[in-house]
Amino acid sequence: MEKARKFSVKGFSTILLIGIVIIGLVAGALTGYLLGSLPLSEKIKVLENELIALRQQTANLRTQTIVNNTYIFGGNISLSDLYEMVKDSVVIVRGVIVQYDVFRRPYYNQVQGSGFIYNFSGQMVVITNYHVVGGAINLTITFINGNGYAATVLGLDPYVDLAVLSINAPQHEFKPLEVVSSSTLKVGDIAVAVGNPYGLAGSMSIGIVSALGRTITEEETGGYPIANVIQTTAPLNPGNSGGPLLNLQGQVVGVTTAIVSDSQGLGFAIPSNTILREIASLVTMGYYDKHPWLGAAGVDMTYEIAQIMGVNVTYGWLITQVVSGGPAANACLRDGTKRVLIAGQYVTVGGDIIIAINGIRITGLDALSAYIEENTTPGQTINLTIMRNNQELTIPLTLGARP
C-alpha cells in the first residue's frame, strides 16, 4: 500500500507564515496610503481597524490548519481526541491455524488481526473478520493495555467476512464502540482506521471514502461477491483486518477487510449496515442464512460487448450462465449462447441483459449485488428489466437463498 500523504506540521506552519506575511504587506500598503491623506484621529481609527482585521484573519488561518499541533476538522474535531476516545475499544485478535504436511504431520501458523468491542443488547462481543478467525484454535483477545483473555467464536458469516467473538473479561475492560448506518456515507467523507498492522497495536491511519457500492470476492466466499463494500484511501496493512473504520465522531461505519496487493491507496471495508443486519443472527444462532440468491453468473456490459451482440445498451449485467433449478432458471432467464474473444478475453454472449431491478438502474455487478443485498430477502419477488434481442422486457423473479 502506498503511504498516505502526510499531514505536515512544518508544512502547515510555512503556509500560515506566508499567509500572515501577505496579509501584513497588503494591510501595510493600504494603511500607508490612508495615513498620508487622513487627519490624525481618523488615521488612528484606521490603524485600529486594520489591526483587528489582521488578528481575525490570522486566527482564521490557524483554525483552518493547526491548533497546538493538533489536526482540526470541521466542527473542531481533533484526531488526537478521536484516537483517545476509541483506542481502548480496539483489540488484537490472535489464533493458531493447524495445517499438515505431505506426511500428515501437523504444523502451526499464527494468525493475527484486529477487532473492536460492541454492545449487543447488553452482551459485550468482539466484531472482526471471518478470514482472521475462521478455522483457528486457541483464540485470544488483547486490549491496548496489554491485558489478554481467551476468546470463543459466537458466529461466523464467510459470505460477508464477518465474525463475532465472546471473551471472559472483567466488565471494566469493555468500552464498546457505537455502530451507525453506513447509508449516510458519501464519497469524500473522512475515514479513520484503527487497528494493529503487522502487530503494531493501536495504530491509526486516515483517508477518505473513495468509492461506495463496490463488490469484492475473497477466497472464503466460495465465489460469491461481497456486496456494497466501502472503498477507502485510509492506509491498511496485514493486521488491520477486522478493525473499525470510523467517521469523525468515532462511530463505526465499516469493518476493514481487504487490501489490493501492490495498489496505491486502495483498501476495502464491510459496511456497517451489514453488521446491523446480521449481528442478532450471528450472536444468537451462530450464522446468517438470509443472503438472497439470483442463481446466475454474468459479466458487466461494455461498449465492445454491445457491438458484438448488436444491441443498443452499453450498461447492465449480461447473464452468461443460469444455474439449473435456480431462481433465474425458474424465471426463464436466458444465458449466453456462444463464446467470443473481446479485447483479449473470452466472453459468453447472447444472454439476457439485466438493466434494472424494481425500476432502479443496474449498471453492472456492483449495482446489482448492492441492491439485492441491501433491499431484498430470500423468497421476495423482484421485477427485472432485461434486454432480450434488443427488446425491453419486465420479468418477475423470486429470489432464493444461497445454497
Q: What amino acid positions are annotated as catalytic residues?
A: 131, 161, 241
DSSP per-residue string spanning 244-295? EEE-TTS-EEEEEEEE-TT-SS-EEEEEHHHHHHHHHHHHHTS-----EE--
Given a contact cutoff of 8 angstroms between Cβ atoms, the answer to whether 129 and 138 are in contact is no
Whole-angstrom Cα distance, residue 333 to residue 393?
A: 11
Given a contact cutoff of 8 angstroms between Cβ atoms, the answer to whether 228 and 102 are in contact is no
Local structure of residue 179 (DSSP, 8 states): B
* List of residues 6+ apart from 327 with CB closer than 8 A: 293, 294, 295, 397, 398, 399, 400
Whole-angstrom Cα distance, residue 192 to residue 205?
A: 6
List strand residue ranges (DSSP E) for 101-238, in order: 106-120, 123-128, 137-142, 148-157, 162-167, 190-195, 203-216, 226-232
